[in-house]
Each structure stands twice: as structure tokens, then as C-alpha cells.
Amino acid sequence: MVEFTDADREAVYKAIYARRDIRRFRDDPIPERILERLVDAAHHAPSVGFSQPWDLIVISDEETKRAVKSIADRAIAAAEAGYKEPRKSEYAALKLEGILESPLNICVTCDPTRGAPHVLGRSSMKRTDVYSTCLAVQNLWLAARAEGVGVGWVSVLYPSELQELLEIPPHVKPVAYLCLGYPEAGFPEEPVLETEGWRERLERETIVHDERWEAKTEPKNAADSAER
């Protein structure tokens, strides 16, 4: 049985609260031993029915990254067009990806057929395969923070184009495209979108419900469409 000391417990919470979405990276390579630890952390995520539906595509080739960057540029431009001023200019000023700057990119995918046709616990909640894959992403992200490695999730991509580019089988779906590297200016104290005034962190009391759902008051900007 694994026991956690007070210092161990504090370290877990420290990684959670200090995790940030990083967009600007140094070009220092990530040592292979650290990458192996991050991948292993992802692979030890919990999964419904112990299905382990994730795969990780590790990308360092510059040509591949440029192709992904092209997809992101078009997706970002399309998203920007959906905003009105002044939000449109605020959106345009945000740095939403670090695909070329980061030494490594990782595409995390979900295979819904793994363990099929009968995955324990998934008969009535089919999308728990995707939820499980997201837990692998979170494991990797927290482990990376503990290693001093920054991670940025690029959500402004067209999944079908990414799937074709990376030759992902049709039944397997891309869930997360991550940029990994050492942060250019360290880890910020607060999330960048918070310091940039894009959104505020909701108060804990507004998202906790007792017994039944009751109406909560959200900040005015909570209805805005926010990119990661």
C-alpha cells in the first residue's frame, strides 16, 4: 500500500495549482528519459473498464509540424471571424498555439473499439472512452509540470484534416494536440487568459451544488466563446 507523506500530498496539489497552458517555448530538447516518464504517466491514467483507449503520436519532424500549423492558422482565422469588436481584436492578440516553437508535439487519440464489443461500465455512457483519454492528457500535463516541462493544448484545429495528415485510422479519433517544451519565460502565476482579461476563474461556490442543481450567477464574460 502506497502511503503519502505530508510533503508528497503538498506536491500533488502544487502541480495541480501551478499547471499552466504554455504557448511560448525555448528550443531546448526534452531529454528522452523525461519524455518516457511523461508518456508512462499518461498511460497510467484511469480508464473506464480498464480500456486504455489512448494512443500517443510523438511528433518532432518540422515538416509535419508546419503542416499542422497550417491547419491551425486556418482554424484560428475562421474562429476570429466569428467575433465582433472589441472581442475580435482581443482574440487576434492572443497566442493560441506554439506548434513550431515547441520541440515536441503529441497527438493523443481515442480508439473506441479497444476492448470492444463489451467494455465494462460503458454500456450506458458511450463517451467514457473520450473521458478516459482526457484523463491521460491530464496525467501527462501534471507530470510535465512537475518536470518543469510546459504543455499547450491546441484546440483550434480541424480534426478530420489532422487525422488525414497523421494517417490515423478512420475509427480512431484525435482528442488532444499538445505542444511540449520548456517555457520561454517560466510558468506564469495565473492562467494567461485570466491575466489577459479574457475570462475569470469562477468562484468555487458557483459550481458546487447540494443534492440538486440550483441556479448560480456567472460573470458576464462566462457566455463568451473562449479558445484554450
* pLDDT mean by block of 10 residues, the chain; 228 residues: 96 98 97 98 97 98 98 98 96 96 98 92 93 98 98 98 98 98 96 93 94 75 45
Q: Identity (one letter) of the amino acid at 225?
A: S
Say whether both 107 and 206 belong to one domain.
Answer: no
Q: Do you find a cis peptide bond into 170, omega within 30 degrees of 0?
A: no
Say whether both 110 and 71 belong to one domain.
Answer: yes
Q: How far is CA 139 from CA 37, 56, 121, in A?
A: 11, 13, 21
pTM for this prediction: 0.92
Domain of residue 226 covers 202-228
CATH number at residue 135: 3.40.109.10
Say whether both 171 and 82 belong to one domain.
Answer: yes
Query: How many Å from the N-terminal Cα to the C-terminal Cα in the chain?
Result: 38
Beta strands in 60-172 (DSSP E): 104-110, 150-153
Is 15 within a domain? no
Confidence at residue 218, expressed as pLDDT on a 0 to 100 scale: 62
Domain count, the chain: 2
If you compute the radius of gyration of the chain from its CA atoms, what whole number of angstroms results?
A: 19
Confidence at residue 116, expressed as pLDDT on a 0 to 100 scale: 86
Is the Cα torsion angle 218, 221, 226, 228 positive or negative in sign?
negative
Confidence at residue 214, expressed as pLDDT on a 0 to 100 scale: 84
Query: Which three three-digit cell numbers place residue 220?
Result: 458576464
Is 6 within a domain? no
Is 194 within a domain? no
Query: 192 phi and psi, to 5 degrees?
Result: -60, -40
Say whether both 169 and 140 belong to one domain.
Answer: yes
Is 39 within a domain? yes
Classify residue 57 by its DSSP letter.
Answer: E
Task: Give the Cα separation of 207 and 216 in Å (integer).
Answer: 7
Confidence at residue 221, expressed as pLDDT on a 0 to 100 scale: 56
Confidence at residue 215, expressed as pLDDT on a 0 to 100 scale: 75
